[in-house]
């Protein structure tokens, strides 16, 4: 284990999302080195790196389309040269909004490739190295859709998120004796660009939230920081819902 005080390194997939970006900034503020994964949003990734550099530390951008089997493999190979202490599986996709009876196997496969299969390949690989070092934290970003099943239009998404919660359980049990702590966060409705891609009646959706408002990316980043840093000594194999009471 690295002595306290030396910079640790975190890999955040989907760092170009609003939630991923806030997670990156939260850790950078504490002196961490950030590996920022992105796919299509190169400009956002470059801009994020500029922000992170202001806090010091070493930051790198890594591109991979996690819906591609070959790119998942080459992304994994690229990680070889880094000593990664913490992994946040945050990249996610909804691919298409279709009623469950209309979904094709391609729609479902693409969603699962990004949300589930990529984390199922990358996390065990990093896990084995974390275990050797005697320190590791993995935070999987699921969704409230895994808790309630979402709507009839999100079967593919909700099921893929439910599956990543299963990954949490396996790794948490295997990592417990080696100080590798693994947890799931289930965000509820968070105010991000995601909701602009698939417009719906947001006021109606917000009225279903007991606290009567959307969460912010910072609400999620704060919990990721707690679970994903040395602050967390005794929480593993948990699902934390951050959803305003839903």
Ligand X SMILES: NC(=O)c1ccc[n+]([C@@H]2O[C@H](COP(=O)([O-])OP(=O)(O)OC[C@H]3O[C@@H](n4cnc5c(N)ncnc54)[C@H](OP(=O)(O)O)[C@@H]3O)[C@@H](O)[C@H]2O)c1
For ligand X, which is the closer residue by CB, 92 or 175? Answer: 92
CB of 177 to ligand X, least distance (A): 29
Q: Detail the DSSP E strand segments found in 145-198.
A: 180-187
User: To which H or E segment does residue 138 belong?
Assistant: strand 136-141
**Which residues does 4 contact at the CB level (< 8 Å), separation at least 6?**
230
With CB under 6 A as the contact rule, the residue among 104, 193, 198, 213 that binds ligand X is: 193
Q: Check binding of 67 to ligand X (CB under 6 A).
A: yes
For ligand X, the binding residue among 9, 12, 20, 171 (CB under 6 A) is 20
- 152 exposure class (CB count in 10 Å sphere: 0-12, 13-18, 19+): exposed
CA 12 – CA 139 distance, rounded (Å): 10
| Residue closest to ligand X when measured from CB atoms | 92
Binding mask 149-188 for ligand X (x = CB under 6 A): --------------------------------------x-
Kindly identify the residues of this chain, within the stretch 22-61, that bind ligand X according to CB under 6 A: 38-41
- In sequence order, what are the residues at sequence separation of 6 or more whose Cβ sits closer than 8 angstroms to the Cβ of residue 223? 185, 240, 242
Cβ nearer to ligand X, comparing 62 with 135:
62
**Quick one: which of 33, 111, 140, 143 contacts ligand X (CB under 6 A)?**
143
| Shortest distance in whole angstroms from residue 5 CB to ligand X | 31
At its nearest, how many Å lie between ligand X and the CB of residue 240? 13
Residue 200, both tokens: 């719906």
Count of residues in contact with ligand X, rule CB under 6 A: 27
| Residue 235 beta carbon to ligand X: minimum distance, rounded to whole angstroms | 20
Can 157 be counted among the known catalytic residues?
yes
Which residues, 6 or more positions from 107, have their beta carbon under 8 angstroms from its beta carbon? 95, 96, 98, 156
Give every CB contact of residue 234 below 8 A, 6+ residues apart in sequence: none
Tokens (6 digits) for 62 = 């890594």
Measured from the CB atom, the residue of 2 and 49 that comes closer to ligand X is: 49
146: which strand partners? none
Q: How many helices (H) and strands (E) does the chain have?
A: 10, 7
| Nearest CB to ligand X, comparing residues 123 and 192 | 192
Q: Tell me which residue of 5, 42, 38, 6 sits closest to 20, measured CA to CA.
A: 38
- Which of 38, 99, 157, 226 is catalytic? The answer is 157
Nearer to ligand X, 7 or 73 (CB): 73
Would you name the residues annotated as active-site residues? Answer: 157
Give the interface with ligand X as residue ranges (CB under 6 A).
Answer: 14, 16-20, 38-41, 65-67, 90-93, 114, 141, 143-144, 187, 189-190, 192-194
């Amino acid at each position: 284990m690295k002595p306290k005080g030396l910079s640790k390194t975190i890999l955040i997939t989907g760092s170009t999302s609003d939630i991923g970006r806030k997670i990156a900034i939260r850790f950078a503020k504490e002196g961490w080195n950030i590996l920022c994964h992105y796919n299509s949003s190169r400009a956002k990734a470059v801009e994020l790196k500029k922000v992170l550099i202001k806090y010091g530390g070493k930051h790198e951008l890594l591109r991979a389309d996690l819906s591609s089997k070959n790119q998942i493999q080459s992304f994994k190979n690229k990680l070889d040269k880094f000593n990664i202490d913490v992994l946040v599986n945050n990249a996610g996709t909804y691919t298409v909004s279709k009623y469950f009876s209309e979904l094709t196997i391609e729609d479902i496969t693409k969603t699962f490739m990004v949300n589930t299969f990529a984390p199922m390949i990358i996390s065990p690989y990093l896990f084995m190295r974390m275990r050797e070092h005697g320190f590791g934290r993995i935070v999987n970003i699921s969704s409230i859709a895994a808790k309630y099943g979402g709507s009839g239009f999100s079967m593919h998404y909700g099921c893929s998120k439910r599956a990543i919660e299963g990954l949490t359980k396996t790794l948490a049990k295997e990592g417990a004796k080696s100080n590798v702590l693994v947890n799931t966060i289930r965000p509820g409705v968070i105010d991000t660009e995601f909701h602009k891609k698939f417009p719906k009646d947001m006021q109606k959706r917000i009225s279903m939230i007991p606290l009567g408002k959307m969460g912010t990316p910072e609400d999620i980043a704060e919990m990721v920081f707690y679970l994903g840093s040395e602050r967390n000594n005794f929480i593993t194999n948990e699902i934390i819902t951050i959803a305003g009471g839903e």
